[in-house]
Amino acid sequence: MNFAQVLVNSLITASELGIIAVGLTLTFSLLKFANFAHVETAVAGAYLAWTLNVRLGLNFAVSIAAAVLVMGLAGVVIDRLVFRIFRNADDVAPMIASLGLAIAIRYSMQAIFGPRFLRYDFGIAPGMRIVGAFVTRQQVWILGIVLLAIVGFHILLQYTTIGKAMRATSTNPELAQASGVNTEWVIAWVWFLGTAFAALGGALVAWDTQLVPELGFNLVIPVFCVVLIGGVGSVYGALLGALVVGLAVNFGVAVNFAPLANLIGGADWVSSLRIPADYKPAIVYLAVVLILLLRPSGFMRRELA
């Protein structure tokens, strides 16, 4: 096993999942329902960035920034048009609405952009060698951008008035209103940030891999697992969850379990015993089950803190 390489791969997986999961858990923390359309807005953001970059020929960074902003605003609009109706309903109605929305977005993307894979405008080259691991330029960028986004978000959440209002509204919406906090404005911010993070994550995943309409399908389970592991509604938990999932899936398939098996004995001596790569989704589930067994509500408390 090339330890450095697997670690790099884990960090990339974690940062891509993490940034999307933070957006998901953010909307959950305020609105208390699972937004299944979240990952599809990530895909929509990636397609929007592609349109700006490849179709309209804009600079790549500008395209991503614009897509992130536009999708953030789209999140606010979606809330006004769809989810606001369910503000005082239980959590099943908005969840089902989000499922419908997810399907609508996915098939719209397929109808508009076709089933074929798309790629942003850049060449593919071998990665640089850093302590034995191949790391591509875009991966370095992705790690940097995600780190920046997370630090920025942390500062916003902890030190700005709107951030504090978000945390307050998430823990006690009634008291926030009684304190004069305009919770609808706070919710609008949460949709903006949540959807913008989704779009950013989607664009980064697409940059790092490729853009296909089923991207959301591949992301939805890992992202929800990340959120579950971290503690639903907890932003910092989601980051931890992403790290757990990233490490688990990559080391899970990379580790040679033969020495362990030989130690336990029983079967014949083996030189190579690995978890097949197609068990990756199963590894994610296993991580979720193990962690929820140890900590039934995930790593962190379910509030924006």
Partner 1 sequence: MTALLQVRGLHCAYGADEIIHGVDIEVSPGEIVTILGPNGCGKTTLVKSILGFVRATRGEIYFRDRELRQLRPTERAALGIGYVPQLLNTFKPLTIAENLEIGGYRLRRSERNAAMARMLALFPLLAERRSQLAGTLSGGERQVLAMARALIMSPCLLFLDEPSAGLSPLRAHEVFQHIRDIAATGTAIVIVEQDVQRALAISNRAYVLVTGQVVMQGPAASIATDERIGRAYLGAKMRGPVSKPPPLTPIAPA
Partner 2 sequence: MPILDQPPKFGRRSLLKLTGAACLTTAMPLPTVAAAQTTEPVKIGVIIGLTGSAAVAGNDSYRAMQLGAEEVNEAGGVLGRPIKLIVEDDEGRPKSGVEAANKLADVDKVAACIGAYQSSIALPVGRLLNEKGVVWVTDATTNDLKTVGPYLFNVAGIAEQAVALVDFVKADKAGAKKLTGIFQNNPIGQDRAKVSEKRAKELGLEWIPALLYQPGATDFRTELQQVVNAGADAILTDIYDSDAPIIQRQLVELGMGDFSNTYSYNPGAYGTLEPNLIEGIKGLNYITGGIRAEAFNKKFLEKFGHIYTDAWGGPPFYDAVWIVATAINLANGLDRKKIRDAMWPAAYHYLGVSGNGDKGFNKWGMQASDQYEKLAYKAGKMVPLSKGPENIVVFRYSDDQGTPLSHAPSEEQNQQLYPGYKP
Q: Which residue type sits at 226?
A: V
Residue 13 interacting partner from partner 2, partner 1, none (CB closer than 5 to 8 Å by kind): partner 2
Residue 80 interacting partner from partner 2, partner 1, none (CB closer than 5 to 8 Å by kind): none
Q: Based on CB atoms, which residue is closest to partner 1, 177 or 262?
A: 177
- Phi, psi for residue 133 in degrees, rounded to 5: -110, 145
- Phi, psi for residue 135 in degrees, rounded to 5: -130, 125
Q: How far is the CB of 240 from partner 2 (least distance, A)?
A: 20
Please say whether the beta carbons of 46 and 211 come within 8 A: yes
Q: Under rule CB under 8 A, how many of the chain's residues touch partner 1?
A: 22
Q: Based on CB atoms, which residue is closest to partner 1, 10 or 25?
A: 25
Contacts to partner 1 from residues 226-265, by CB under 8 A: none
Residue 174 interacting partner from partner 2, partner 1, none (CB closer than 5 to 8 Å by kind): partner 1
Residues that bind partner 2 (CB under 8 A): 2, 5-6, 9, 12-13, 115-117, 119, 123-127, 129, 134, 136, 205, 208-210, 212, 214-215, 217-218, 249-250, 253-254, 272, 274, 276-278, 280-281
Residues in contact with partner 1, shown as a per-residue x/- string from 165 to 204 under the rule CB under 8 A: x-xx--xx-xxxxxxxxxxx--------------------
Q: How far is the CB of 170 from partner 1 (least distance, A)?
A: 9
Please say whether the beta carbons of 196 and 80 come within 8 A: no
Q: How far is the CB of 300 from partner 2 (least distance, A)?
A: 26
Q: Which of 236, 239, 241 is nearest to 225 (CA)?
A: 241
Is the sign of the CA dihedral 229, 283, 97, 195 positive or negative? positive
Q: How far apart are CA 191 and CA 78, in angstroms?
A: 9
Q: How far is the CB of 182 from partner 1 (least distance, A)?
A: 5
Residue 76 interacting partner from partner 2, partner 1, none (CB closer than 5 to 8 Å by kind): none
Please say whether the beta carbons of 46 and 199 come within 8 A: yes
Q: Which residue type sits at 241?
A: G
Q: How far is the CB of 26 from partner 1 (least distance, A)?
A: 15
Q: Which residue type sits at 152?
A: G
Q: Which residues, in sequence order, are bridge partners of residue 118?
A: 211
Which one-letter DSSP state was computed for residue 207?
Answer: H
The C-alpha angle 52, 54, 60, rounded to 5 degrees, equals 65
Residues in contact with partner 1, shown as a per-residue x/- string from 5 to 34 under the rule CB under 8 A: ------------------------------
Please say whether the beta carbons of 75 and 23 come within 8 A: no
Residue 305 interacting partner from partner 2, partner 1, none (CB closer than 5 to 8 Å by kind): partner 1
Q: Which of 210, 222, 216 is nearest to 248 (CA)?
A: 222
Residue 181 interacting partner from partner 2, partner 1, none (CB closer than 5 to 8 Å by kind): partner 1
Binding partner 1 (rule: CB under 8 A), the pick from 124, 161, 271, 278 is 161
What is residue 232's three-state secondary structure?
coil
Q: Which residues, in sequence order, are bridge partners of residue 134?
A: 129
Q: Based on CB atoms, which residue is closest to partner 1, 211 or 304?
A: 304
Q: How far is the CB of 11 from partner 2 (least distance, A)?
A: 11
Q: Based on CB atoms, which residue is closest to partner 2, 123 or 180?
A: 123
Q: How far apart are CA 190 and CA 263, in angstroms?
A: 51
The number of beta carbons lying within 10 Å of the beta carbon of residue 77 is 12
Binding site for partner 1 (CB under 8 A): 161, 164-165, 167-168, 171-172, 174-184, 301, 303-305
